[in-house]
Every structure is written in C-alpha cells, then in structure tokens.
C-alpha cells in the first residue's frame, strides 16, 4: 500500500480491524520509525458521537505517561479523515495468547496482571476510568517488554459520572448491570476476570445470550478451580466482590500478587470448565449485644470482692428483685434528703438577703445582745461585771469610736462569685477493534460498533 497520510506516514500492513476502523503499521518518513495508526472509517467519522469519542481518546492518552500505556504521537483530522498515530508495539493481545496457547503458568499470569494493575492505577490517579478492561485490551510485547493496556475508546473521566457507559458483556461489573455508572472499581472487577481467564483459559461468565451473561454477573460468583492456589484465588474473589466498596484499589493489587509469588508455579495448568454458585445474600450487620459483667471468683485466701456501684444500666443486668428493692429505697431516701437540703438552703438564703442591707450613712452601733470579744475571765471583765451588778447600765456616748463589725459585714462589691484486539500489535483478529466483546457484542451498543 502506497497511501501516505499528512505527507508523512506511509501506510503498510494491516494489524487489526473492527466495525469503526482499522489499525495499520505505518512508517514515519521524518523520524524513520515504524508506528501504529488507528484510522476511523469514513462513515464512522461522519457520526458526531463516534468522532467525539475518538477525539476524547486522543486527549486522554496525551495526559497519561506510563510504560504500561501506549504513547500517542500525532492526531490527524482532515475532513472525514481521522487518524491517531501511536507507538508501535509488536506483540499479541492476551486473549489471543490464551486462545492459541491455553492458560498461562500461574507465576506468569500474576506478573502480567500486576503490570496491568500498575498501569490502571496510573490511569485512575489521573481521574480517568478505562471502562473496558479485558484480555483483548492487554498487549503482550514479543520482546518481553512491559505489558500494555490499550484501547481507551470508551474511557471517561471520574468527574463526569453522567457520561455514557459502555462495556463488554463478559467483563461487565454488577453495578453497571444494575444501571449504574462505571467507576475505578468497575475496572478492578474486569481485572479480576482477566486474572481468572489467564489462569483458567476461559471467562467464567461466557455463554448464552447477552442478558444471560449480564444476569450471571449480578447473581453468581465463580468457584475456585483446583488448579488455582487459595492465596491467588482470594485476590480474584476480592476483585469480583458484589459491592464495589469491598474491592481493592488497583494500586493495591501488585503488592497482593507479589506476596503470592513463592506459592506459584511456572507450569501451565489445563483449561478448566467454570463452575458458578449463587452469590451470598447481602444482609445488614447485626447490632452488638449488651453483655452483663462476668462474676469473678476470688482465689482461696483472697479478701472478698468489694461491692461497686454500677456505672451504667449494662452493669446491673441480672440483679435479684430484693437487691433492686433495696436500691430503690435508698434512692428515694436520698432524694427526700436532697429536697430538704435544698429547701433549707433556700430559707437561709432568703433570710440572708433580707438582712444583708447595710446603711453606710451612719456609724455602726452594736446591738444590746451582741457578744463582745473580751475574755470573761480577765480582771477588767470581772470588775465590770461586779459594777454591772450594782450600777444601772448607761447609754454609750455619742463620741465613742464606732466599733468594727465582728463579722466584717459591709458593702459586698468585691465578693467572690471531627476486546479491542491489539491496536498496535500483531495478531489481532477481525472484530477485535476497538473493544468488541468476545461474544461479538458490546453493552450497551456504542455508536460505530463498540
């Protein structure tokens, strides 16, 4: 083929084809490098929804910089010609690897999925959801380089929950089946199915009509094959949890897989026939019961336990009726005593207030019955007493100094107060572009055949 795009890219062999477009190997006449070019069919490019999705994919890829994601190089838009130029990665998608060669050895499967999880975590960290994680969108390079996550044709931003949701039936998360939007945990669900398929050779939900497949995602859970070690299976199970909140984040999966490496094998197992069981019913957690305190029996020779006043209603569960009666009587007596004390305090307070006013305009004069501070046994006191017995008392002189109040009473001012095929690799088959499901359908249908 001698076609040249934008006077720069000479089109060579075809790598993959789908309903919306085709992927070619091409040669960059300026840099001398081979590249991959994804070209929309003219009729697809004339549809606004398809054209917009294509431009969105190009924009998303320019924001991502990770060895597990194919790097975009150029975008060509000229009338009905729309093409995306990307790095060329020679290799085969994981779906084709499993179809041709059967299940991967468990150690190899863990390495592949771990690398995809790292790429997926980088995508999520940028606020983007891939939206179509499946074996057909995972490219295995023939040179042993980093595994690539490809086909961002249905990717969308986490901040745009109202964007249309597209999915391949075999890898559709239950919340999407129920009419919800895809999230980063929906990508993790797809990644769990990728690990299952790499180990077992087939998707556990494949078979029957699209409705049958979708219903199984919501109602059934795969059972562990004997060929998969329990530690690796627990990771698959966590990724396939019905509640997205119970699934791990993509960034946690690589370390979870690395922890299982000593238990894994370099020998591939035979393909298995999937077995499914009903998902366990979701029930709300039961409230914690209140427990009475456990009685402690003292050891021989120990002092008898001291009675303790209960601090809360929980502590008095199990008391006898006799004990409850004594406690009630004590409470009534204490309450009555409290009322008497309060009443007495009120009477005293009123009396104090009634007699606390002092007229500062004239000198203080002690009352006749006021006690003096003299010692009754002193000589002067005895003489005075003798005189008082024989001489009538006299009124105090007006020139006497006013005596200070023995109680110090005055004023009071100072008183205290928280399956795309492989977009840019060899081995893609017809129907693999871009992200067409392994059963030949996409849910719901994306304009242009996705």
* Residues noted as catalytic: 132
- Please report where in the chains the tokens 């690589």 appear, as a residue: 254
Alpha-helix runs per DSSP H in 126-183: 174-177
Q: Which residue has the tokens 């309060």?
A: 342
Q: Is 251 exposed, middle or buried (0-12, 13-18, 19+ CB in 10 A)?
A: middle
Helices (H) and strands (E) in the chain, counts: 11, 13
CB-based contact 168:134 (threshold 8 Å) = yes
Alpha-carbon 202 to chain mean position: 32
Given a contact cutoff of 8 angstroms between Cβ atoms, the answer to whether 443 and 168 are in contact is: yes
Strand partners, 362: none
CA–CA–CA angle 267, 428, 147 (5° rounding) = 50
Which residue has 């295995």 as its token pair?
140
How far is it, in rounded angstroms, from Cα 189 to Cα 87? 28
Give CA separation, 51 vs 39, 46, 80, in Å.
11, 7, 9
Q: With H, G, I as helix, E, B as strand and everything else as coil, classify residue 74.
A: strand
Query: How far from 137 is each of 74, 95, 100, 188, 395, CA to CA, in Å?
Result: 21, 8, 16, 14, 119
DSSP-assigned letter for residue 69:
B
In this structure, are residues 275 and 244 in contact, taking their beta carbons and an 8 Å threshold?
A: no
Cβ-based neighbour number of residue 47 at 10 Å? 15
Task: Please give the Cα distance from 443 to 364 (Å, whole number).
Answer: 103
- Omega prior to 434 cis, within 30 of 0: yes
Query: What is the Cα–Cα distance from 228 to 134, expressed in whole angstroms?
Result: 20
E strand or H helix that includes residue 198: helix 184-200
Q: Are 150 and 70 in contact (CB under 8 A)?
A: yes
**H-helix or E-strand spanning residue 231:** helix 230-239
Q: Is the peptide bond before 135 cis (omega within 30 degrees of 0)?
A: no
- Count other Cβ atoms within 10 Å, centred on residue 286: 6
């Amino acid at each position: 083929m001698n076609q040249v795009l934008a006077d720069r890219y000479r089109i060579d062999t075809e790598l993959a084809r789908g309903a919306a477009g085709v992927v070619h190997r091409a040669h960059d006449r300026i840099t001398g490098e081979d590249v991959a070019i994804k070209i929309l069919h003219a009729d697809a490019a004339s549809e606004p929804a398809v054209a917009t999705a294509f431009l969105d994919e190009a924009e998303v890829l320019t924001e991502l910089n990770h060895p597990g994601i194919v790097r975009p190089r150029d975008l060509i838009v000229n009338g009905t010609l729309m093409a995306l130029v990307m790095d060329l990665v020679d290799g085969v998608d994981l779906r084709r690897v499993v179809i041709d060669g059967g299940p991967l050895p468990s150690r190899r499967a863990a390495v592949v999925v771990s690398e995809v999880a790292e790429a997926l975590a980088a995508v999520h960290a940028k606020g983007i959801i891939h939206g179509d994680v499946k074996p057909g969108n995972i490219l295995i390079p023939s040179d042993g380089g980093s595994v690539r996550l490809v086909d961002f044709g249905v990717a969308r931003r986490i901040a745009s929950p109202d964007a249309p949701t597209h999915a391949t039936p075999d890898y559709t998360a239950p919340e999407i089946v129920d009419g919800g939007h895809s999230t980063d945990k929906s990508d993790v669900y797809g990644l769990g199915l990728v690990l299952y398929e790499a180990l077992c050779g087939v998707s556990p939900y494949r078979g029957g009509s699209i409705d049958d497949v979708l219903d199984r995602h919501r109602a059934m859970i795969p059972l562990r094959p004997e060929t998969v070690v329990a530690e690796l299976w627990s990771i698959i199970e966590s990724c396939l949890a019905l509640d997205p909140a119970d699934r791990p984040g993509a960034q946690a999966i690589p370390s979870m897989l690395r922890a299982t490496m000593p238990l894994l094998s370099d020998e591939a197992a035979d393909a298995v026939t999937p077995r499914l069981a009903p998902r366990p019913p979701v029930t709300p957690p039961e409230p914690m019961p209140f427990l009475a305190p456990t009685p402690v029996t003292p050891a021989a020779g120990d002092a008898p336990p001291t009675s303790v006043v209960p601090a809360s209603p929980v502590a008095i569960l199990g008391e006898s009726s006799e004990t409850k009666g004594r406690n009630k009587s004590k409470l009534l007596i204490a309450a009555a005593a409290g009322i008497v004390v309060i009443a007495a305090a009120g009477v005293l307070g009123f009396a104090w207030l009634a007699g606390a006013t002092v007229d500062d305009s004239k000198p203080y004069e002690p009352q006749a019955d006021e006690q003096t501070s003299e010692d009754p046994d002193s000589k002067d006191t005895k003489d005075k007493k003798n005189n008082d017995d024989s001489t009538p008392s006299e009124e105090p002189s007006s020139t006497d100094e006013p005596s200070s109040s023995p109680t110090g009473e005055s004023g009071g001012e100072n008183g205290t107060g928280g399956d795309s095929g492989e977009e840019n690799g060899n081995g893609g088959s017809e129907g693999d572009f871009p992200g067409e499901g392994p059963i030949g359908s996409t849910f719901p249908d994306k304009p242009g055949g996705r």
